[in-house]
Amino acid sequence: MKYADEFRDKEIAVGLAKAIRAEANKARPYRFMEFCGGHTHAISRYGLEDVLPTNVRMIHGPGCPVCVLPAGRIDMAIGLAMRPEVILCVYGDLMRVPGSQGASLLKAKARGADVRMVYSTIDAIRIAEENSAREVVFFAIGFETTTPPTAVMIRMAEKKRLSNFSVFCNHVLTPPAMKNILESSDIGDKGQFEIDGFVGPAHVSTIIGTEPYEFFAKEFSKPVVISGFEPLDMLQSILMLVRQINEHRYEVENQYRRAVTRDGNLRAREEISDVFELRDRFEWRGLGQVPYSGLRLKRSYAIYDAELRFEMQELCVADNRACECGAILRGVKKPVDCKLFGTLCTPEMPMGSCMVSSEGACAAYWAYSRFRDHRQRRAS
Amino acid sequence: MRGHQRKLDIKNACIDLSHGSGGRAMAQLISGLFHEAFGNEWLARGNDQSAFDVRAGRMVMSTDGYVVSPLFFPGGNIGSLAVYGTVNDIAMAGAQPLYLSASFIIEEGFLLSDLKMIAESMGEAARSAGVHIITGDTKVVERGKADGLFISTAGVGLVPDGLDLSAENARVGDRVLISGTLGDHGIAVMSKRQNLAFETEITSDSAALHDLVVKMVEAGGCGIRLMRDPTRGGLGAALNEIAQQSGLGFRLQEEAIPVKPGVAAACELLGLDPLHVANEGKLVAVVAPEVADAVLGAMRAHPLGCDAADIGEAISDDHHFVQMATSVGGGCIVDWLSGEQLPRIC
C-alpha cells in the first residue's frame, strides 16, 4: 500500500530502534507523552514497546476527542436525540461512548431515538435537505482537525438557507489541554508525575502548525516533536526526543514534514475563526474543567447552535470515584494500576474516558498489550 | 374466472401482502419465481417438505440468517451469500453439502425483478455448490418492518468416514493456514453501504468452499484438526473462538497475512482492521505441522486458495491470547472485537 508500507519497513524500524538504544543514556529514564490517541493506537498496534529500551517509556496522553468528551455532554446529546422531531447525526465511534448510568447513543437508538451514523459533515447536510420536516442536528466533536469541516458545513447550511439544521458543538483545542497537564504536575494523592517531552499531535498540527507548541518548549523546558502516525514516524520522533534531551535542547521539531508546516493551514484556520469563538471553560473527561479549551458558535451563527435552539441545559456528571483516568492521562499511573481495569471497566462496558474509544490508553492497552503483564508475571 | 392465474409481472410489479397470504398469489410467486430459479425434482413435487434418502454415516446440519445491506454488492447479493454461507458452514466440518432449505421474509413493496435476480443467483450458487434447495417458506411483512429482504437457509451434509474436525483436536505446534486475502467481502459491502467511492472496485469473495475442502482433506486427511470460515468478526474472531475452544493460544506473523492493497487502503481510510472485517469465501485451517506443506500446496493449486498462506502456529497459553508479531518487530494481541467496528472520527 503506497504511502503507508514505506513507513512500516521492518529493516528501517530495527535500525531506528537500534539507534534509540545506542543513544538513550542507560543511567536515566526518558518519559515521553504522546498526546494523540492515534499515536497511542500505533504504539499498541505495532507493539513498539517491545522494540524500545526499558528506560524509554511512553505515557499515553488525553489526545482522543471521543475519550475526553464528558458523560454530561453525552447525556445532553441523548436527551436531544430522544426528542421525536430530532435526527441526530454522529460520527461512528461516538455511538458507544458512555453517558451517565451506562447510557449511550447506541442504546438510545435501540430505544427509538433517530441517531444516524455519518462519515462526513456533507452527509449531515444531505440528511437535513432530505428531511425538511425534521430538525437535523450534527454532533460536532474533535480537535482542530475536524473543526474546519464543521465550519464549512455551517457556512454551507447558511448558503442553502437550511432552517432545520443545527450543530451541537463539542470541538476542543489541544494547546490548553497540554498546558493543563503541564501545570498540574503535582496531583496530590495521585502522585508526582514527570514528563520529559511530548510526541506532538499530527493531524491537529496540519491545521494549526507547529508554532503553538513553541510556548511549551520554551516556558516548560519540554521538547516537542510533531510526529506522524506510522511506526517509523513514531520511532524517528522518539529518537529525535532522546537527542534533544541528551543535548539539553527544548525545541519544537517537525518529524511530520510531509504534512505539517510551522503556520499550518491558514485557510482552515480562517474558517475556524470565522465561525467559532472560545468558551471560558470546557469540561474534559479525566481532566476536569479546562479554561479556554472549547469552542462554540459565534453570535452571528447562533441560529445554527443546537444548545440555544433547543435550550439545552449543561449537565455535569461525575466519573466513578475509583476511576483512575485522570492519573493515567497524566502518566502517573498505568491502566493496570486501576482497580476497574478489566473488571468493571472493559471496552464492552467502559466506565472511564481511557476505555471509551479504541484510541484511549486503557482500550489500546486492553486490546493489544495486556498479554505483556501475563508474560512478565510468567517470567518473574 | 375460477382457476385463472395472473401471470407474474416480474418487470414492473412489486411484492404486496397477498404474496404472503397463503393464497393464489403466493402460490404463483413460489411456482413462478422460486421453483423456476431453484428447479429440482424435490420442489417439483410441491409438498410442504421434501423427503430424501439418508446414507449411513455422520451428517452435519447448519442454519444461518442473512440480513446484509445493501442486498446487491460487488461480487454477489444476499441470495448467493445465503447459499454459500450455509454451504461453507457445512463444508467446515469436512462434509459434502447435500440439501438446503430457504426461508424468505420479504418487505411489502419489494420489486419482483430484484427478487427474481436474487432467486436466480441462489439457484446458480446452489448448482455450482452441488446442493439442492429442496424446501422453503415465504412471508411478507408490511412496509417498514424489514430491510427489504431477509433470508434464512439451513442445510445438511455428509461427513466422510473417519474425519472429525473439531477445535478440541488442535495441538501446540499446529500450523494456521488461511485460504486467501482477508476483508474483501466486508469492504465490498461497506463501500456500497455509505456510497463511499473507492478508486478501485473491491469485490466480495463470496464463494462455496466445499470443493477446496475436499482437496485439502485429500492432502492432509486427519492431520487437518479443524476448519472455520472467518465471516463476521473476521479472522480475529475466528481464531479467538478456536483458542477458547481448544484451550490453546496462537502466534501469528503479520507479514504473512494476505490482504489486498485496495482492502488495506480502505481499512486505513475507515480506521478498520482487516483482521476483523468479514469474509464470505475464505477459510482458516489448523493443521498438524507434518501435513502443513501438503495442505498448503493443495490449497494453492485450487482457484479459491491461490493466495493461501501459512500465517502462524498454535502455542501453549493459559489465557488463550491470539498474539501477533507485527511488521516492525513488536508484538500485540489480536483481540475479539468490542461490538461492531465503527469508523473513527480522525
Contact B332 A44 (CB under 8 A): yes
> Taking 80 as the threshold, does the pLDDT of residue A98 lie above it?
yes
Measure A68 CA to nearest chain B CA, in Å: 13
The kind and range of the H/E element at A255 are none
Measure A51 CA to nearest chain B CA, in Å: 6
Residue of chain B whose alpha carbon sits nearest to that of A356: B338
> Taking 90 as the threshold, does the pLDDT of residue A155 lie above it?
yes
Is residue B329 less than 8 Å (CB to CB) from chain A? yes
Measure B255 CA to nearest chain A CA, in Å: 10
Chain B positions in Cβ-Cβ contact with residue A363 (cut-off 8 Å): 338
Q: What is the pLDDT of residue A380?
A: 65
How far is it, in rounded angstroms, from Cα B158 to Cα A353? 51
Specify the higher pLDDT residue, A237 or B55.
Answer: A237
Q: What is the pLDDT of residue A358?
A: 80
Q: What is the pLDDT of residue A93?
A: 81
Chain A positions in Cβ-Cβ contact with residue B144 (cut-off 8 Å): none
Residues A239-265 as b/e (b if ≥16 CB within 10 A, e otherwise) read: bbbbbbbeeeebebbbbbeeebeeebb
Contact A369 B343 (CB under 8 A): no
Contact B332 A143 (CB under 8 A): no
Measure B268 CA to nearest chain A CA, in Å: 9
* Average pLDDT over every residue of A218-237: 95
Chain A positions in Cβ-Cβ contact with residue B319 (cut-off 8 Å): 371, 374
Which residue of A9, A46, A142 is in closest CB contact with B330? A46
Contact A146 B265 (CB under 8 A): no
* Average pLDDT over every residue of A138-159: 96
Contact B255 A232 (CB under 8 A): no
**Which residues 95-154 of A are in CB contact (within 8 Å) with B?**
95-96, 106, 117, 119, 123, 141-143, 145-146
Q: Where are the beta strands (DSSP E) in chain B?
A: 58-66, 72-73, 76-77, 96-107, 132-141, 149-159, 175-178, 224-228, 249-253, 284-287, 309-315, 322-325, 331-333
Residue of chain A whose alpha carbon sits nearest to that of B336: A367
How far is it, in rounded angstroms, from Cα A290 to Cα A179? 9
Contact B343 A141 (CB under 8 A): no
Q: Predicted ipTM?
A: 0.84
Measure A240 CA to nearest chain B CA, in Å: 19
What's the first-to-final CA gap in chain B, in angstroms? Answer: 65
Q: List B157's β-bridge partners, or say none.
A: B60, B97
CA atoms within 13 A on the CB side of A244: 25
pTM equals 0.88
Residues 6+ apart with CB under 8 A from A211: A252, A262, A263, A264
**Which residues 173-202 of A are in CB contact (within 8 Å) with B?**
none
Residue A189 banded pLDDT, cuts 50, 70, 90: very low
Q: What is the pLDDT of residue B195?
A: 63
Chain B positions in Cβ-Cβ contact with residue A95 (cut-off 8 Å): 342
* Residue-wise pLDDT tens digits, B54-108: 888 899 999 999 999 899 999 999 999 999 999 999 999 999 999 999 999 999 9
* Average pLDDT over every residue of A160-181: 95
Contact A46 B335 (CB under 8 A): no
**3-state DSSP call for residue B110?**
coil
* Residue-wise pLDDT tens digits, A60-71: 888 888 889 999
How far is it, in rounded angstroms, from Cα B194 to Cα B186? 13
Contact B332 A46 (CB under 8 A): yes
Q: What is the pLDDT of residue B2?
A: 44
How far is it, in rounded angstroms, from Cα B167 to Cα B286? 9
Cβ(B62)–Cβ(B52) below 8 Å: no
**3-state DSSP call for residue A68?**
coil
Chain A positions in Cβ-Cβ contact with residue B318 (cut-off 8 Å): 374
Residue of chain B whose alpha carbon sits nearest to that of A12: B328
Contact B328 A10 (CB under 8 A): yes
**A134 alpha-carbon distance from chain centroid:** 32
Residue A325 banded pLDDT, cuts 50, 70, 90: confident
> How confident is the prediction along chain B (346 residues), in pLDDT tens digits per residue?
344 556 788 888 999 998 988 888 888 899 889 999 998 999 988 888 999 988 888 999 999 999 998 999 999 999 999 999 999 999 999 999 999 999 999 999 999 999 999 999 999 999 999 999 999 999 999 999 998 999 999 999 999 999 999 999 999 999 999 999 999 999 999 888 766 767 778 899 999 999 999 999 999 999 999 999 999 999 999 999 999 999 999 999 999 999 999 999 999 888 889 999 999 999 999 999 999 999 999 999 999 999 999 999 999 999 999 999 999 999 999 998 876 666 665 5
The kind and range of the H/E element at B213 are helix B210-220
* Average pLDDT over every residue of A187-194: 55
Q: What is the pLDDT of residue A193?
A: 65
Q: What is the pLDDT of residue A187?
A: 46
**3-state DSSP call for residue A247?**
coil
Residue A164 banded pLDDT, cuts 50, 70, 90: very high
**3-state DSSP call for residue A38?**
helix
Chain B positions in Cβ-Cβ contact with residue A21 (cut-off 8 Å): none
How far is it, in rounded angstroms, from Cα B346 to Cα B344? 6
Contact B342 A95 (CB under 8 A): yes
Question: Cell numbers 476497574 label which residue?
Answer: A340
Measure B230 CA to nearest chain A CA, in Å: 19
Task: Count interface pairs A-B at CB distance under 8 A.
Answer: 113
The C-alpha cell that represents A97 in the structure block: 461512548
Other C-beta atoms lying within 10 Å of the C-beta of residue B55: 7
Residue of chain B whose alpha carbon sits nearest to that of A44: B332
Measure B261 CA to nearest chain A CA, in Å: 5
